[in-house]
Amino acid sequence: MPIPFIQTRALEYTYTAEDGQAISALRGIDLTVGRGEFVALIGPNGSGKSTLARHFNALLLPTAGEVWVDGLLTSDPRHVQAVRQRVGMVFQNPDNQIVAGTVEEDVAFGPENLGVPAAEIRRRVDEALEVVGMTAYRHHPPHMLSGGQKQRVAIAGALATRPDCIVFDEPTSMLDAEGRRQVLQTVQRLNAERGLTVILITQNMDEAALARRVLVMDGGRIVRDGPPEEVLEAPEVEGLGLGRPFAAEVARRLRERGIPLPPGLLTVEALAAALRCTFR
């Protein structure tokens, strides 16, 4: 069991709508995410994924219950800056995250706000651009880049504050196939090579299958928590209408045609290996 990094206890959150109506978005979340984990968070629209994610860097504070990040209680005002430094966020729309006229100024924005000295900012910007493969674009205006490149600049911006964890809230949903590939590869590398704790919110089951742990939300609760092989084909998860990973769907159709295949085939590689055994 890794060292706990994010912990929530009996977390509840209630929005007040414009007409004064209370909307209960989180209804008792007890969750521990360990340092260095790669967790996918899935669930239908409105199930509370973004609301939960915003508690992980104190953008929202609990209506009831507690959230700790690296042992720091987020609702203690003295901890807000330390919590925000530890947990970065990357959002859905790459255009909304651009704040400056060149890529390098954009990446420098976070550490500048934290009061990091100029020489150290330059080092961090260099490193962050290198990590996401965007060094060649450092003097480019961000709005000229492709969606996938913009998201990688947003990731570099998050990295430049030296977080332990990045929460990605549907980072690929506005990207084309190539942009998705670039962003996911970057996310996977940050986790595998740099030990970054990753929480990936996604509507795409192929992306969820890349994580080592999948959390499923429904109606403000976590209704499933386990490895993708167990969670993504569970009948009650299929009932939520989130779809299946491409390979799992192909495997299902092949089984219907009488080809015996084991469950838990979530990637094209796993499916190909199983077919090779079947037709040996």
Q: Are 271 and 247 in contact (CB under 8 A)?
A: yes
Dihedral angle over CA of 103, 87, 168, 109, nearest 10: -20
Of 47 and 182, nearer to Mg ion (C-beta) is 47
Of 138 and 221, nearer to ligand ADP (C-beta) is 221
| Residue 186 touches ligand ADP, criterion: CB under 6 A | no
In eight-state DSSP terms, residue 266 is -
Q: Residue 220 CB, nearest distance to ligand ADP (Å)?
A: 7
| Residue 23 touches ligand ADP, criterion: CB under 6 A | yes
Of 217 and 270, nearer to ligand ADP (C-beta) is 217
Determine the interface stretch with Mg ion among 45-53, 54-62, 72-80, 185-193 (rule: CB under 5 A): 45-53
Of 83 and 201, nearer to Mg ion (C-beta) is 201
How far apart are alpha carbons 199 and 40 in whole angstroms? 6
- Minimal CB distance residue for Mg ion: 50
- Phi/psi at 183 (nearest 5 deg)? -70, -45
| Residue 74 touches Mg ion, criterion: CB under 5 A | no
How far apart are alpha carbons 213 and 231 in whole angstroms? 9
Q: Residue 31 CB, nearest distance to ligand ADP (Å)?
A: 15
Write the single-letter amino acid at 81. Answer: Q
| Residue 204 touches Mg ion, criterion: CB under 5 A | no
Provide the total of helices (H) and of strands (E) in the chain, helices listed first.
11, 10
Q: Are 164 and 86 in contact (CB under 8 A)?
A: yes
Determine the interface stretch with ligand ADP among 1-9, 15-23, 74-82, 149-157 (rule: CB under 6 A): 15-23
Site size toward ligand ADP, by CB under 6 A? 12
| Residue 242 touches ligand ADP, criterion: CB under 6 A | no
- Phi/psi at 27 (nearest 5 deg)? -125, 55
User: Where does the chain have alpha helices with state H?
Assistant: 49-55, 80-86, 103-113, 118-131, 147-159, 177-194, 205-208, 228-231, 235-238, 246-256, 268-278
Site size toward Mg ion, by CB under 5 A? 2
Q: What strands lie across the sheet with 72-73, from one edge to the other? A: 22-34, 4-16, 64-69, 72-73
Q: Residue 249 CB, nearest distance to ligand ADP (Å)?
A: 23
- Residue of 7, 50, 57, 85 that binds Mg ion (CB under 5 A): 50
Which residues between 27 and 86 bind ligand ADP (CB under 6 A)?
Answer: 43, 45-51
Binding site for ligand ADP (CB under 6 A): 15, 17, 23, 25, 43, 45-51
Binding site for Mg ion (CB under 5 A): 49-50
